[in-house]
Structure 1
Amino acid sequence: MTVSPASVSGAEYYAHDGYYTIDEGPSEWMGEGAQRLGLEGRVKADQFAQIIDGVLPDGTELARGADGTRNNGTDLTFSAPKSVSLVGLIGGDKRVIEAHRNAVRETMIWAEEKLALARSGAGGAERELTGNLVQAHFHHDLSRALDPQVHTHCVVANMNSP
Protein backbone atom coordinates (compact mmCIF):
# COMPACT_ATOMS: atom_id res chain seq x y z
CA MET A 1 0.00 0.00 0.00
CA THR A 2 1.22 3.49 -0.72
CA VAL A 3 0.29 6.75 0.99
CA SER A 4 0.27 10.08 -0.82
CA PRO A 5 -0.15 13.23 1.28
CA ALA A 6 -1.58 16.47 -0.11
CA SER A 7 -2.53 19.77 1.47
CA VAL A 8 -6.23 20.49 1.73
CA SER A 9 -7.01 23.73 -0.08
CA GLY A 10 -10.66 24.29 0.77
CA ALA A 11 -14.10 22.76 0.67
CA GLU A 12 -14.72 23.87 -2.92
CA TYR A 13 -12.10 21.38 -4.19
CA TYR A 14 -13.84 18.51 -2.43
CA ALA A 15 -17.27 19.62 -3.67
CA HIS A 16 -16.06 19.60 -7.30
CA ASP A 17 -17.94 16.88 -9.21
CA GLY A 18 -19.04 15.31 -5.90
CA TYR A 19 -16.09 12.89 -5.96
CA TYR A 20 -15.78 12.83 -2.18
CA THR A 21 -19.27 13.15 -0.78
CA ILE A 22 -21.78 11.67 -3.24
CA ASP A 23 -22.78 8.03 -3.35
CA GLU A 24 -19.72 7.05 -5.44
CA GLY A 25 -18.29 5.30 -2.44
CA PRO A 26 -18.84 4.85 1.25
CA SER A 27 -17.52 7.39 3.72
CA GLU A 28 -17.20 7.64 7.49
CA TRP A 29 -16.11 10.02 10.21
CA MET A 30 -13.21 8.65 12.23
CA GLY A 31 -11.09 9.71 15.17
CA GLU A 32 -11.48 10.85 18.74
CA GLY A 33 -11.74 14.46 17.56
CA ALA A 34 -14.68 13.69 15.27
CA GLN A 35 -16.39 11.77 18.07
CA ARG A 36 -15.96 14.70 20.49
CA LEU A 37 -17.59 17.00 17.91
CA GLY A 38 -20.53 14.62 17.45
CA LEU A 39 -19.50 13.68 13.90
CA GLU A 40 -20.33 10.07 13.20
CA GLY A 41 -21.50 7.79 10.42
CA ARG A 42 -21.53 8.83 6.77
CA VAL A 43 -19.78 12.08 5.91
CA LYS A 44 -22.35 14.67 4.81
CA ALA A 45 -21.18 17.28 2.30
CA ASP A 46 -22.33 20.29 4.32
CA GLN A 47 -20.69 19.09 7.56
CA PHE A 48 -17.49 18.24 5.72
CA ALA A 49 -17.34 21.66 4.04
CA GLN A 50 -17.72 23.42 7.39
CA ILE A 51 -15.03 21.32 9.07
CA ILE A 52 -12.57 21.88 6.20
CA ASP A 53 -13.25 25.60 6.30
CA GLY A 54 -12.60 25.70 10.06
CA VAL A 55 -16.14 25.92 11.40
CA LEU A 56 -17.12 23.56 14.22
CA PRO A 57 -20.57 21.94 14.28
CA ASP A 58 -21.71 24.47 16.93
CA GLY A 59 -20.81 27.36 14.59
CA THR A 60 -17.55 28.34 16.30
CA GLU A 61 -15.00 29.56 13.75
CA LEU A 62 -11.40 28.58 14.33
CA ALA A 63 -8.79 31.32 14.44
CA ARG A 64 -6.78 32.19 11.37
CA GLY A 65 -3.12 33.14 11.30
CA ALA A 66 -1.90 36.71 11.57
CA ASP A 67 -1.93 36.92 7.76
CA GLY A 68 -5.58 35.78 7.62
CA THR A 69 -4.82 32.34 6.22
CA ARG A 70 -5.40 28.92 7.68
CA ASN A 71 -3.98 25.46 7.00
CA ASN A 72 -7.16 23.43 6.41
CA GLY A 73 -5.61 19.99 6.82
CA THR A 74 -4.06 17.07 4.98
CA ASP A 75 -5.49 14.50 2.57
CA LEU A 76 -3.71 11.17 3.04
CA THR A 77 -4.57 8.88 0.13
CA PHE A 78 -3.96 5.20 0.86
CA SER A 79 -3.80 3.23 -2.41
CA ALA A 80 -3.86 -0.54 -2.67
CA PRO A 81 -1.56 -2.19 -5.23
CA LYS A 82 -3.16 -2.73 -8.65
CA SER A 83 -3.18 -6.51 -8.07
CA VAL A 84 -5.33 -6.03 -4.95
CA SER A 85 -7.70 -3.77 -6.87
CA LEU A 86 -8.04 -6.33 -9.66
CA VAL A 87 -8.60 -9.29 -7.31
CA GLY A 88 -11.14 -7.33 -5.28
CA LEU A 89 -13.00 -5.51 -8.03
CA ILE A 90 -12.67 -7.69 -11.14
CA GLY A 91 -12.25 -11.02 -9.34
CA GLY A 92 -15.01 -10.19 -6.88
CA ASP A 93 -13.11 -11.04 -3.69
CA LYS A 94 -14.54 -8.41 -1.36
CA ARG A 95 -12.31 -9.64 1.49
CA VAL A 96 -9.29 -7.84 0.02
CA ILE A 97 -11.25 -4.59 -0.20
CA GLU A 98 -12.33 -4.89 3.43
CA ALA A 99 -8.74 -5.79 4.41
CA HIS A 100 -7.57 -2.56 2.74
CA ARG A 101 -10.17 -0.51 4.62
CA ASN A 102 -9.31 -2.16 7.93
CA ALA A 103 -5.59 -1.54 7.38
CA VAL A 104 -6.30 2.15 6.73
CA ARG A 105 -8.47 2.42 9.86
CA GLU A 106 -5.85 0.70 12.05
CA THR A 107 -3.07 2.89 10.64
CA MET A 108 -5.04 6.05 11.38
CA ILE A 109 -5.89 4.85 14.91
CA TRP A 110 -2.15 4.36 15.49
CA ALA A 111 -1.32 7.77 13.97
CA GLU A 112 -3.91 9.47 16.15
CA GLU A 113 -2.46 7.89 19.28
CA LYS A 114 1.22 8.44 18.47
CA LEU A 115 1.44 11.46 16.14
CA ALA A 116 -1.47 13.88 16.68
CA LEU A 117 0.04 17.18 17.83
CA ALA A 118 -1.24 20.62 18.71
CA ARG A 119 1.07 23.62 18.52
CA SER A 120 0.74 26.68 20.70
CA GLY A 121 2.80 29.55 22.02
CA ALA A 122 4.89 32.03 20.08
CA GLY A 123 5.36 30.73 16.55
CA GLY A 124 3.87 27.37 17.52
CA ALA A 125 7.00 26.48 19.45
CA GLU A 126 5.12 24.49 22.11
CA ARG A 127 3.86 21.08 21.01
CA GLU A 128 1.71 18.59 22.82
CA LEU A 129 0.33 15.18 21.89
CA THR A 130 -3.45 15.43 21.76
CA GLY A 131 -4.54 11.90 20.89
CA ASN A 132 -7.38 13.23 18.79
CA LEU A 133 -7.89 13.81 15.09
CA VAL A 134 -10.93 14.85 13.09
CA GLN A 135 -10.87 12.54 10.07
CA ALA A 136 -13.20 12.00 7.14
CA HIS A 137 -12.55 8.74 5.25
CA PHE A 138 -13.76 8.35 1.67
CA HIS A 139 -13.47 4.80 0.28
CA HIS A 140 -13.24 4.59 -3.50
CA ASP A 141 -12.86 1.76 -5.98
CA LEU A 142 -12.22 3.79 -9.12
CA SER A 143 -9.68 6.43 -9.99
CA ARG A 144 -10.90 9.73 -11.43
CA ALA A 145 -9.96 8.20 -14.80
CA LEU A 146 -12.38 5.34 -13.99
CA ASP A 147 -9.67 2.67 -13.69
CA PRO A 148 -10.05 -0.01 -10.99
CA GLN A 149 -8.18 1.42 -8.01
CA VAL A 150 -9.04 0.62 -4.41
CA HIS A 151 -8.05 3.66 -2.37
CA THR A 152 -9.12 5.66 0.65
CA HIS A 153 -8.84 9.41 1.13
CA CYS A 154 -8.30 10.19 4.82
CA VAL A 155 -8.86 13.91 5.13
CA VAL A 156 -7.45 15.06 8.47
CA ALA A 157 -8.78 18.47 9.45
CA ASN A 158 -6.40 20.96 11.00
CA MET A 159 -8.19 21.31 14.32
CA ASN A 160 -7.97 20.13 17.86
CA SER A 161 -11.42 19.37 19.21
CA PRO A 162 -12.31 20.36 22.77
Structure 2
Amino acid sequence: MINVTVARTVEYYTNLQYESYLPSENKGIFQGGLARKLDLAGKEVKREILKKYAGEKRVGIDITVLAPKSVSIAFALGSNEIREQIKEAYDKAITSLIKEIENYIYTRDRTRNAQNLYVKAEALISRFDHFTSKKLDPQLHSHLLISNQVFRG
Protein backbone atom coordinates (compact mmCIF):
# COMPACT_ATOMS: atom_id res chain seq x y z
CA MET A 1 0.00 0.00 0.00
CA ILE A 2 1.14 3.56 -0.67
CA ASN A 3 0.03 6.70 1.16
CA VAL A 4 0.90 10.19 -0.05
CA THR A 5 0.71 13.13 2.35
CA VAL A 6 2.06 16.65 2.63
CA ALA A 7 5.03 16.84 4.99
CA ARG A 8 4.77 19.93 7.18
CA THR A 9 7.75 19.77 9.56
CA VAL A 10 11.33 18.56 9.33
CA GLU A 11 11.30 17.59 13.00
CA TYR A 12 8.72 14.86 12.47
CA TYR A 13 11.13 13.01 10.17
CA THR A 14 14.33 13.65 12.08
CA ASN A 15 12.60 12.62 15.33
CA LEU A 16 11.36 9.44 13.62
CA GLN A 17 14.95 8.27 13.62
CA TYR A 18 15.22 8.42 17.39
CA GLU A 19 11.86 8.44 19.17
CA SER A 20 8.97 6.67 17.49
CA TYR A 21 10.27 3.23 16.62
CA LEU A 22 12.70 0.62 17.87
CA PRO A 23 16.15 2.11 18.51
CA SER A 24 17.77 -0.57 16.36
CA GLU A 25 15.92 0.50 13.20
CA ASN A 26 17.76 2.16 10.35
CA LYS A 27 18.37 5.85 10.46
CA GLY A 28 17.21 7.86 7.48
CA ILE A 29 19.46 8.03 4.43
CA PHE A 30 19.59 10.51 1.58
CA GLN A 31 18.81 9.31 -1.94
CA GLY A 32 17.84 10.80 -5.26
CA GLY A 33 19.46 12.90 -7.95
CA LEU A 34 20.03 15.94 -5.78
CA ALA A 35 21.61 13.75 -3.08
CA ARG A 36 24.03 12.45 -5.69
CA LYS A 37 24.87 15.99 -6.86
CA LEU A 38 25.50 17.09 -3.27
CA ASP A 39 27.53 13.95 -2.47
CA LEU A 40 24.94 12.95 0.15
CA ALA A 41 23.64 9.74 -1.44
CA GLY A 42 23.62 6.94 1.12
CA LYS A 43 24.58 9.25 3.99
CA GLU A 44 22.58 9.67 7.19
CA VAL A 45 19.79 12.27 7.11
CA LYS A 46 20.68 15.47 8.96
CA ARG A 47 18.12 17.99 10.19
CA GLU A 48 20.11 20.99 8.91
CA ILE A 49 20.24 19.64 5.35
CA LEU A 50 16.54 18.78 5.34
CA LYS A 51 15.70 22.30 6.52
CA LYS A 52 17.84 23.81 3.78
CA TYR A 53 15.84 22.05 1.06
CA ALA A 54 12.42 22.31 2.72
CA GLY A 55 9.82 24.72 1.42
CA GLU A 56 8.49 27.64 3.44
CA LYS A 57 4.96 26.31 3.93
CA ARG A 58 5.60 22.62 3.52
CA VAL A 59 8.70 20.46 3.78
CA GLY A 60 7.75 18.27 0.83
CA ILE A 61 5.78 15.15 0.04
CA ASP A 62 5.83 11.99 2.17
CA ILE A 63 5.27 8.81 0.21
CA THR A 64 4.80 6.02 2.74
CA VAL A 65 5.15 2.52 1.32
CA LEU A 66 3.83 -0.38 3.40
CA ALA A 67 4.61 -4.04 2.74
CA PRO A 68 1.65 -6.44 2.98
CA LYS A 69 0.98 -7.52 6.57
CA SER A 70 1.84 -11.15 5.72
CA VAL A 71 5.31 -10.03 4.56
CA SER A 72 5.77 -7.95 7.71
CA ILE A 73 4.85 -10.92 9.91
CA ALA A 74 7.14 -13.26 7.94
CA PHE A 75 9.93 -10.69 8.39
CA ALA A 76 9.27 -10.42 12.14
CA LEU A 77 9.02 -14.17 12.79
CA GLY A 78 11.26 -15.60 10.09
CA SER A 79 14.76 -16.99 10.39
CA ASN A 80 17.73 -14.73 9.68
CA GLU A 81 17.87 -16.17 6.16
CA ILE A 82 14.19 -15.38 5.53
CA ARG A 83 14.60 -11.89 6.99
CA GLU A 84 17.59 -11.20 4.71
CA GLN A 85 15.67 -12.39 1.64
CA ILE A 86 12.68 -10.22 2.50
CA LYS A 87 14.88 -7.23 3.28
CA GLU A 88 16.76 -7.63 -0.01
CA ALA A 89 13.54 -7.90 -2.06
CA TYR A 90 11.97 -4.98 -0.18
CA ASP A 91 15.08 -2.83 -0.68
CA LYS A 92 15.08 -3.56 -4.42
CA ALA A 93 11.40 -2.62 -4.62
CA ILE A 94 11.90 0.69 -2.77
CA THR A 95 15.01 1.54 -4.81
CA SER A 96 13.05 0.83 -8.00
CA LEU A 97 10.18 3.00 -6.79
CA ILE A 98 12.55 5.89 -6.05
CA LYS A 99 13.97 5.66 -9.58
CA GLU A 100 10.46 5.69 -11.01
CA ILE A 101 9.43 8.68 -8.88
CA GLU A 102 12.49 10.56 -10.11
CA ASN A 103 11.18 10.25 -13.67
CA TYR A 104 8.21 12.44 -12.68
CA ILE A 105 9.95 15.27 -10.84
CA TYR A 106 9.61 18.54 -12.72
CA THR A 107 9.69 22.22 -11.87
CA ARG A 108 8.55 25.40 -13.59
CA ASP A 109 11.17 27.29 -15.54
CA ARG A 110 10.65 30.96 -14.71
CA THR A 111 13.97 32.17 -16.09
CA ARG A 112 12.72 32.84 -19.63
CA ASN A 113 9.29 34.32 -18.85
CA ALA A 114 7.79 30.92 -19.56
CA GLN A 115 5.49 30.44 -16.57
CA ASN A 116 4.08 27.18 -17.87
CA LEU A 117 7.26 25.54 -19.18
CA TYR A 118 8.13 22.55 -17.04
CA VAL A 119 11.64 21.13 -16.97
CA LYS A 120 13.11 17.97 -15.50
CA ALA A 121 14.36 18.41 -11.94
CA GLU A 122 16.17 16.43 -9.27
CA ALA A 123 15.03 16.12 -5.68
CA LEU A 124 16.54 15.28 -2.36
CA ILE A 125 14.77 12.13 -1.16
CA SER A 126 15.14 11.09 2.47
CA ARG A 127 14.38 7.41 3.07
CA PHE A 128 13.38 6.12 6.49
CA ASP A 129 12.90 2.33 6.73
CA HIS A 130 10.99 0.84 9.65
CA PHE A 131 10.18 -2.72 10.61
CA THR A 132 7.35 -1.95 13.05
CA SER A 133 4.46 0.45 13.39
CA LYS A 134 4.59 3.13 16.08
CA LYS A 135 2.65 0.68 18.25
CA LEU A 136 5.48 -1.83 17.63
CA ASP A 137 3.32 -4.21 15.54
CA PRO A 138 5.18 -5.92 12.69
CA GLN A 139 4.89 -3.43 9.80
CA LEU A 140 7.69 -3.21 7.27
CA HIS A 141 7.39 0.25 5.72
CA SER A 142 9.34 3.21 4.41
CA HIS A 143 8.82 6.95 4.45
CA LEU A 144 10.16 8.61 1.30
CA LEU A 145 10.34 12.33 2.00
CA ILE A 146 10.69 14.23 -1.27
CA SER A 147 12.06 17.72 -0.67
CA ASN A 148 9.91 20.64 -1.76
CA GLN A 149 12.85 22.44 -3.31
CA VAL A 150 14.40 20.78 -6.34
CA PHE A 151 17.41 21.27 -8.61
CA ARG A 152 16.66 22.00 -12.24
CA GLY A 153 18.42 19.36 -14.31
Same fold (TM over 0.5): yes
CA distance in 2, matches of 1:24, 1:41: 16
Is 1:4 matched with 2:11?
Answer: no
Identity of aligned residues (%): 24
CA distance in 2, matches of 1:160, 1:70: 15
The alignment's TM-score, normalised by the length of structure 2, stands at 0.80
- Unmatched segments (≥5 aa) in structure 1: 55-68
Q: Which residue of 2 aligns with 1:115?
A: 104
For the 8 Å contact 1:85–1:97, the answer to whether it is kept is: no
Offset at residue 13 of structure 1 (A): 2.2
Is 1:157 matched with 2:147?
Answer: yes
For the 8 Å contact 2:130–2:142, the answer to whether it is kept is: yes
Specify the SS of the correspondent of 1:134. strand
Q: Which residue of 2 aligns with 1:126?
A: 117
Is 1:81 matched with 2:68?
Answer: yes
Query: How many aligned residue pairs are there?
Result: 145
For residues 77-109 of structure 1, give each alpha carbon's deviation from its aligned partner in whole angstroms, at most 9, with x where no partner exists. Answer: 110001001111211312112211210111111
**Which of the two has greater strand per residue?**
2
The alignment's TM-score, normalised by the length of structure 1, stands at 0.76
CA distance in 2, matches of 1:147, 1:120: 45
Specify the SS of the correspondent of 2:149. coil
Task: Give the alignment of 1:13-24 within 5 angstroms.
Answer: 13-16=12-15, 18-19=18-19, 24=25
Offset at residue 144 of structure 1 (A): 0.5
